[in-house]
Amino acid sequence: MSQVDESGLSGQTPAEKPRHKPSRAPRTPMPERAAAVRRSDFEEVAFGYSAEQAQAEANRCLQCKNPTCEQGCPVNIRIKDFIAAIIDGEWTDGVEILKERNALPAVCGRVCPQEEQCEASCVLAKKGEPVAIGRLERFLGDHDLTCDLEHRCTPQIAEPSGKRCAVVGSGPAGLACAGELARLGHSVTVMESLHAPGGVLSYGIPEFRLPKAIVAAEIEMLEVMGVTIECDQVIGRIATVEDLMTEEGYDAVFIGSGAGLPVFLGIPGENLNGVYSANEFLTRVNLMRAYEFPTSDTPVWRGRKVAVVGGGNVAMDAARTALRLGAEEVFLAYRRTAEEMPARKEEVHHAIEEGVEFKMLCSPVEIRGRDGWVTGLVANRMELGEPDESGRRAPVCVMDADFEIECDTVISAVGTRANPLLHDAAPDLELNRRGYIVTDENGATNLPGVFAGGDIVTGAATVILAMGAGKKAAAGMHRWLTDA
């Protein structure tokens, strides 16, 4: 495989290649399972493109001289070139191009918000529908996973540097960082606190959106690259960052522990039985496989009428999971309107298709209960006022405690914050007012040799932004390790 081409943005194609004539066909739809069928099981919603569909879609690409799509990608994938490889039917070349910049293409092809990133920057998006870059990425990522392990695309590994790196957390940031450090020739150990690696990819994102077999297969590739993954290791308890650097002899440490602590609504009734944080609900179902109970051992309360509070991807995941557990009705309460929802359009669309009922301009003020169990969610009626700091129009209450949604389960999906364990892991680490780690542009913290990235630096964000931060920190660590 070629060296990482930092001039990729200028996009050269070999001169001898015949000129590409883009097709004017409409965007190739993603084949999906029918909403009525999929809403009662946990199998994946979208099938993925066939080779024909992928090529038909790739042929829509204009192969722009200046591929603006690539500027929209947080990890600067050479999008134009991998699409060209699909046009030519050279799947392996395409996979290699992807893997230069992204260790987890089958994951990112599924969960990246492409419509806000590469696809938003696609020239075709100005006048019509952009090239389905995410679906093409998934096609190549999946193609790679269908090969035997020894035939899968393995990035070239540099000569061993003799340096040892510890990566705390095996979520998107940690995995991207680990993959990059391994590629650069460093010995890498990833320490995960749960019993399975993947972080939010394992405990948070549901099986029907991101099959756990895909996550496991992509992580297996990192192990082939020489990355060691140790589960059940809670850094902050079993060892501090200083222990890692001194007693355990690591030369550098990356902290990618995520923004793990759930935020609750702060309203009366929140500790009634039947109230879940989205983190707990999704962890029980995804990581602990409660949907297979009693074959698996972890139960989950299966509500008949479920109210989910929030408007992000996690809220959509929780609502759609509740449907699949057999809820008769699932409501989604959000204090703004569908327009302002931070969730991906595709997820909102899927949720509505599957029967989630949206209660917009609805701000919960109390959870009512009887005998310790939830019976309803009382909410204020809101309307949209002037834009706030986020640029979105702020919800303003127009009617106090206006209505009650009858329900037996409430799932709070209103965000997460930094886990206090971090302080025990590294008491001298500089944190900002919200408890997140302060880093410079290379991901370096105030402690020598200690880097950080992902949600623990930015607060809750996306998989790909965390991966971008992990990669950037890996580059910073590499410089630190080789300069020293």
Q: Which residues contact other proteins by CB under 8 A? A: 193-195, 203, 231-234, 237-239, 260-262, 264, 270-271, 273, 277, 279-280, 283-284, 288-289, 292-299, 301, 372, 419-421
Q: CB within 8 A of 408, min separation 6: which ones?
A: 274, 303, 304, 305, 306, 373, 374, 375
Question: Closest separation between CB of residue 293 and other proteins, Å?
Answer: 7
Q: CB within 8 A of 206, min separation 6: which ones?
A: 42, 282, 285, 286, 317, 320, 321
**Among all chains, which residue has been given the structure tokens 């990581």?**
287
Closest CA to 377 of 435, 428, 332: 332
* SS3 assignment, position 329: strand
* SS3 assignment, position 185: coil
Residue 333 contacts residue 411 (beta carbons within 8 Å)? no
Name the residue nearer to other proteins (CB basis): 11 or 269. Answer: 269
Q: What tokens does 129 get?
A: 């529908």
Closest CA to 144 of 181, 100, 94, 184: 94
Question: Closest separation between CB of residue 95 and other proteins, Å?
Answer: 31
Name the residue nearer to other proteins (CB basis): 5 or 280. Answer: 280
Question: Closest separation between CB of residue 234 and other proteins, Å?
Answer: 6
Relative to beta strand 373-387, strand 393-406 is antiparallel
Question: Closest separation between CB of residue 114 and other proteins, Å?
Answer: 28
Name the residue nearer to other proteins (CB basis): 60 or 284. Answer: 284
Question: Closest separation between CB of residue 240 and other proteins, Å?
Answer: 9
Question: Closest separation between CB of residue 383 and other proteins, Å?
Answer: 30
CA distance 405 to 312: 20
Kind and range of the H or E element at 481? helix 463-483
Name the residue nearer to other proteins (CB basis): 89 or 299. Answer: 299
Q: What tokens does 367 get?
A: 């959870």
Question: Closest separation between CB of residue 324 and other proteins, Å?
Answer: 18
Q: What tokens does 204 get?
A: 């948070």
Closest CA to 311 of 414, 162, 227, 461: 414
Name the residue nearer to other proteins (CB basis): 1 or 238. Answer: 238
CA distance 455 to 15: 43
Name the residue nearer to other proteins (CB basis): 51 or 238. Answer: 238
Long-range pairs of 392-401 with CB within 8 A, sequence gap ≥ 24: 392/336, 392/340, 393/336, 393/340, 395/335, 395/336, 395/361, 395/363, 397/363, 400/365, 401/365, 401/366
Q: How far is CA 433 from the centre of its chain?
A: 25
Question: Closest separation between CB of residue 120 and other proteins, Å?
Answer: 32
Name the residue nearer to other proteins (CB basis): 26 or 372. Answer: 372
Name the residue nearer to other proteins (CB basis): 64 or 239. Answer: 239
Kind and range of the H or E element at 382? strand 373-387
Name the residue nearer to other proteins (CB basis): 173 or 444. Answer: 173
DSSP string, 39-105: TTS-S-SB----HHHHHHHHTT----SS-GGGGG-TT---HHHHHHHHHTT-HHHHHHHHHHH-S-H
Question: Closest separation between CB of residue 303 and other proteins, Å?
Answer: 12
Residue 162 contacts residue 134 (beta carbons within 8 Å)? no
Name the residue nearer to other proteins (CB basis): 86 or 244. Answer: 244
Question: Closest separation between CB of residue 41 and other proteins, Å?
Answer: 19
Q: CB within 8 A of 424, min separation 6: which ones?
A: 236, 237, 240
Question: Closest separation between CB of residue 195 and other proteins, Å?
Answer: 4
Name the residue nearer to other proteins (CB basis): 43 or 248. Answer: 248
